[in-house]
Amino acid sequence: MPYEREKRELLERFSSEPEKYYEVELFRSKGFMRKRCEVCGRYFWTLDPSLERCPDHWNGRTFIGEKVTNRSFKYTDAWRNVEDFFVSEGHTSVPRYPVVARWRPDLYFTVASIIDFQRVEGGKVVFEFPANPLIVPQASLRFNDVENVGFTGRHYTEFVMIGQHALNDGHGYWKDRTIELDFRLLTERFGVAPEEVVFVEDVWVGYGAFGYSLEYYVRGLELGNAVFTEFEGTPSNYRRFEPQVVDMGAGLERFVWLSQGTPTSYDAVFADELEELGKRLGIKRNHELSRAFFAASGRHDLTEVPDPSKALSDVLAEAGIGDNDYREYIKPWMDLYTVLDHSRALLFAVADGALPSNVGGGYNLRAILRRAQGILDANSWNLQILDVAELLARSLRPMFPELLDSIPALHEILDVELQRYRATKSKIGSIVESMRRSGRQLTKEDVIKLYESNGVTPEMLVEAGLMDRVPADFYSELTSRHSAQQKEEANPAIDVEGLPATRKIYYEDVYLSRCSSRVIRSYPAERAVVLEGTIFYPRGGGQEPDHGTLGGFRVKDVVKVGNVIVHFLEEGVPKEGDVVECELDVARRRSLMKHHTATHVVNGAARRILGPWVWQHSAFKDEDGARLDITHHSALTREQLESIERLANEVIQMDLPVDVRALPRGTAESLYGFRLYQGGAIPERELRVVKVGDFDVEACGGTHVTRTGEIGVIRILRSERIQDGVVRLEFVAGMRAVDHSISQSRVLSEIAGSLGVPPEHVAKRLGELQEELRAGEEERRKLCVAVASYVVATGPKGHVDGIPVYAVALERVPQRTLIEIGDAVAKAAPGSIYLGISAQREDGRSLLVVISSSDRLDAGELASKMLKALGGRGGGRGRIGQGSVPRIVELEEALRVLGSS
């Protein structure tokens, strides 16, 4: 792997100069010795002269079942101990950031604490700290080790990373202070003996930056990793990063585990929940077997083995545990550990606005939700994921009070998701039967496709007997496929190198409709120009561009290339250096402004009506209307649409101010949070914040009205579920909404006139007509059966290859009725052929239908030959053939032609 080779070469380079990169003041003052592991050759630092192996090949004393810290810490207590220490050492404690990393265009989830403070600008990472130095309890989601959760005793999909971060800029600190603090945290606050702490040399390579690091361990357990991000670029092309960044991430779960010495990390982290749920479910505990099993399983990685069942057998053999003891004392606890972890991950994700789906990161959430529910079903436990999540939310309340507030939203989402899950389970029978008939051995790729297309989990296939085990790294492979970067919009290829940024006059005064500006670059071949400044808004953020005239030429398109705005014209272009008059199409601009502000209003209304998981997925605003795609789990009901529309128009009636301010990104985020990023991450240091009263606030680059009253009115035209987890709303605003209402009123009046009732009685009359049609349809069906009985009773009208032909000729009957009569004939006289003709005398043509219930003859071929001979057109395949002839065909002629076909 190139990445692993790159890391290995970096580590060799840094480790060849330990005094420059790794040796810190603590090591010198305390007398730490630098040693090389006798097994793998990695370098580490220790106070223990007898130590010859690095923690990766640990053969010393374990912390399991032993007292290593000064006392046992529960989960929230451990964080308070960490927080108090760092705050006392001059750090600011900041609240966690969302687990959904909306500020990063390349990530769905927050995978580490440093992600909180990384922003992407111009293809490289910049760091923005709200305080320096700081400490943060960052909830993080990772889905690359799903199979290991519950099995190894230490893996999680959701965990809290203790983030200790600083900038080496005179206010923060660098290596010496970092390692001193981490060592003192362990030895002073947690009471770990100094000689138990081991530091291992390592490197870190990230998005456009890299550095060296010191991992720290106690008795073979990695607790944290202090990364010193000193370089930007790549290992082969880099320069020193200014200022350098301290990125120390430690696992809160590991600290709790170390302090309690339980057989698994889960026993320490979920201690209260396990006690309550274990009693409720009647799960038996054998501490000796548990300790033996997890001591062995912790040395395995199920994502790296071809056969997980063999790995399990190896662990059981190593631990000396039989199958019966495993099923009774180990497996139920492994399952409960997994359910607790997956429930906690879902709790955090939903609290921060994520939604399980078949799209992007939602795949990961749905996968673990169905995995957890599958475990509950397999064990026949009377337990709900929601119950588990609420237990966790209550125990985490001292750290994360917002989790308990999200339980109602989680309840609704789980109801919808579990209904879909059970619907999938009800369909599994037909899928299994189809797979069995094929006789083919299922591959991992087959199983992934079944999950993606039908929602069938591998556990369902195992239960059905189609597989004996879940494929290796199934969930890791599945989730990795749905973590692609978002693609940026492509602009026309125009070379703007060397041009200054275009002055954006359209921001200075959105109501300005005329201006003069100098042409600084002309592109005759492309019929495009660049001006010093412009009143024309370029296409961006889902908003279509302004139109108008520029130097007498029509402006047909405007795009932004970097910080330069390019105008595309019709018929010709002015020359470079010309000062040209620019004039907007004012009506178009006003309509675009109304539709864009209306999009913010509708988005805010949808979130309030539907739930906190509603985010803008994408949007489009044009002169004639707008559409907004929102994240939501189901298609919208009429009542929901009406409620959204009503609330949106109430906001218009309130005539709220629409304030637009340019703010430093950090200031904007601290004031308004990450709801700002409705349209996705914005790679700018300064954000243009659009605030609609106290109703909605978003970072947005579009043009807007100054008060909501200017929108006039909003009408939602329709909604549809365009993909899993995404609903589209189409709407119009301003005069477009008025025009739509007038048009609807006109249509309603016309319908009312046709029905002979007042407009307010149209719905009632239509209902009466539908009932009459339903009654008439039932009579028609009965008549078809009666005609078919008559046709069969009168006997066959001929034979084709010895097969009887039943026929009927009718007038002014549609093809659908001919087919229904034929279906009834086929049921009454199996193994026959049916010929139906309907003369359409007013059109001078005939409709023909042939139905074969015999395996020997293809009705489509018969119909094709017969129609061709009669001068008509048509055909078919299998049991039905149909078509028409542009004249009246008598039954005798049709039978004669059919007999000779």
* Binding-site positions for Zn(2+): 596, 600, 700, 704
Q: How close are the terminal C-alpha atoms of the chain, in Å?
A: 67
CA geometry: angle 81, 82, 85, nearest 5 deg: 85
Residue among 158, 162, 157 at smallest CA distance from 144: 157
Query: Residue 200 pairs with which residues in a beta bridge?
Result: 44, 215
Cis check for the bond before 133: say yes or no (omega within 30 of 0): yes
Q: Are strands 533-534 and 528-531 parallel, antiparallel or unpaired?
A: unpaired
Helix (H) or strand (E) holding 79: helix 75-88
Cβ proximity of 847 and 794 under 8 Å:
no
Cβ proximity of 849 and 835 under 8 Å:
yes
- The Cβ of residue 767 has, within 10 Å, a number of other Cβ atoms equal to 10
Cβ proximity of 756 and 768 under 8 Å:
no
551: left (phi over 0), alpha (psi -120 to 50) or beta: left
Residues contacting residue 551 through CB under 8 Å, at least 6 positions apart: 519, 529, 573, 574, 578, 580, 581, 582
Is the alpha carbon torsion for 128, 130, 135, 140 positive or negative?
A: negative
Tokens of 610: 């539907």
Angstrom CA distances, 381 to 377, 394, 422, 469, 603, stand at 7, 22, 16, 21, 40
Tokens of 161: 């990373």
For 543, which DSSP code?
B
- Which residue's entry shows tokens 């591998």? 458
Q: Are strands 714-723 and 197-205 parallel, antiparallel or unpaired?
A: unpaired
Tokens of 516: 């003069």
d(CA 593, CA 596): 5
Residue among 136, 144, 82, 84 at smallest CA distance from 114: 136
d(CA 232, CA 721): 43
- The Cβ of residue 884 has, within 10 Å, a number of other Cβ atoms equal to 19
d(CA 302, CA 323): 19
Determine phi and psi for 624, rounding to 5 degrees.
Answer: -95, -5
Cβ proximity of 71 and 643 under 8 Å:
no
Tokens of 30: 């305390």
Q: HEC profile for 113-162?
A: HHHHHEEEECCEEEECCCCCCEEEEEEEECCCCHHHCCCCCCCCCEEEEE
Cβ proximity of 606 and 719 under 8 Å:
no
For 657, which DSSP code?
B
Residues at the binding site are 596, 600, 700, 704
3-state secondary structure of 251: strand
DSSP result, 371-399: HHHHHHHHHT----HHHHHHHHHHHTTTT
Tokens of 777: 């349809």
Number of residues written out for the chain: 901
User: At 734, which amino acid appears?
Assistant: G
Cβ proximity of 74 and 256 under 8 Å:
yes
Cβ proximity of 594 and 561 under 8 Å:
no
